[in-house]
């Protein structure tokens, strides 16, 4: 995928922070999804549904677009206007209390939201893993702290984020938080390359929150933070290996 292909959908109204399309593009390029036509994807913390639209168009799979802050009705209307209303199901549920079928999703994607609800050890195994199929894939892109500043988020970011500073963790910390399971094959975390482009798109937007971020970009955001990429690959079953 290319971010430029979706320019018409990217605006101050659909962005809720640094350009999520840039983040999704890097994840898709680094870990391309290999899906079947009947696969289902969960876009967790989808915001205004911008990422859900692109996931649907790029994969052809059915997408469940879940966000706690944006209503299912609002996103459903947007999906219909975008011509993907039949392919995307809008949902409004807390990530701590999801009501999907067990092993329903072939992939889970979460852009610029996972840090809000998943910062405790064991969260992934308890709250999300049960809904993922064997041989499933998880792709996450979130703002975080550079590895060299691990453990110093509240000290370095307080003037920008206040009491929410603790949510920003380094790639090393996120790998530890994801933890282990007999169903997990591998976990990889890294500092993403799309940092400057995603931030430039956001800071240029006519949005009051972007205006606030502009005041801290050079002194706090740029020196200390990054986008953290997270890949989680689940183990195959014997049937998957022979498929």
CATH code for the domain of 148: 3.40.50.150
Which sign does the torsion angle of CA 216, 174, 67, 69 carry?
negative
- From the list 76, 103, 77, the residue with the least C-alpha distance to 65 is 76
Q: Is the pLDDT of residue 240 over 70?
A: no
User: Can you tell me the mean pLDDT for 159-173?
Assistant: 97
Task: Please tell me the predicted confidence (pLDDT) of residue 9.
Answer: 94
Domain with 177 in it: 3-242
Task: Please tell me the predicted confidence (pLDDT) of residue 37.
Answer: 77
Residue-wise pLDDT tens digits, 77-114? 999 999 999 999 999 999 999 999 999 999 999 999 99
Task: Please tell me the predicted confidence (pLDDT) of residue 237.
Answer: 78
Q: Is residue 192 classed as helix, strand or coil in its secondary structure? A: coil
Total domains in the fold of the chain: 1
For residues 18 and 3, what is the distance between their CA atoms, to the nearest angstrom?
13
- From the list 16, 240, 179, the residue with the least C-alpha distance to 112 is 16
Q: Is residue 143 classed as helix, strand or coil in its secondary structure? A: strand
Residue-wise pLDDT tens digits, 29-75? 999 998 887 999 999 999 999 999 999 999 999 999 999 999 999 99
Residue-wise pLDDT tens digits, 181-209? 999 999 999 999 999 999 999 999 988 89
Q: Is the pLDDT of residue 155 over 70?
A: yes
Q: Is the pLDDT of residue 120 over 60?
A: yes
For residues 242 and 238, what is the distance between their CA atoms, to the nearest angstrom?
6
Q: Is the pLDDT of residue 27 over 70?
A: yes
Q: Is the pLDDT of residue 243 over 50?
A: no
Q: Is the pLDDT of residue 242 over 60?
A: no
Residue with tokens 């910390």: 173
Q: Is the pLDDT of residue 168 over 50?
A: yes
Task: Please tell me the predicted confidence (pLDDT) of residue 239.
Answer: 59
- From the list 234, 36, 243, the residue with the least C-alpha distance to 130 is 234
Q: Which pTM was predicted?
A: 0.95
């Amino acid at each position: 995928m290319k971010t430029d292909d979706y320019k018409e959908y990217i605006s101050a109204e659909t962005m809720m922070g640094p350009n999520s399309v840039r983040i999704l593009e890097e994840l898709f390029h680094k870990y391309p999804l290999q899906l079947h036509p009947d696969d289902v994807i969960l876009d967790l913390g989808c915001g205004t549904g911008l990422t859900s639209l692109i996931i649907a168009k790029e994969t052809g799979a059915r997408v469940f677009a879940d966000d706690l802050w944006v209503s299912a009705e609002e996103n459903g209307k947007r999906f219909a206007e975008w011509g993907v209303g039949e392919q995307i199901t809008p949902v409004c549920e807390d990530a701590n209390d999801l009501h999907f079928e067990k092993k329903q999703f072939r992939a889970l994607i979460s852009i610029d939201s996972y840090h809000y609800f998943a910062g405790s050890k064991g969260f992934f195994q308890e709250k999300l893993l049960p809904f993922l199929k064997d041989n499933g894939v998880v792709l996450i892109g979130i703002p975080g702290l550079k590895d060299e500043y691990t453990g110093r988020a509240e000290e370095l970011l307080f003037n920008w984020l206040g009491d929410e500073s603790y949510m920003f963790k380094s790639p090393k910390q996120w790998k530890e938080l994801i933890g282990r399971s007999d169903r997990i094959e591998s976990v990889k975390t890294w500092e993403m390359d799309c940092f400057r482009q995603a931030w430039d798109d956001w800071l240029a937007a006519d949005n009051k929150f972007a205006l606030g971020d502009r005041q801290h970009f050079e002194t706090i955001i740029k020196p200390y933070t990054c986008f953290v990429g997270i890949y989680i690959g689940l183990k195959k079953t014997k049937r998957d290996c022979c498929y």
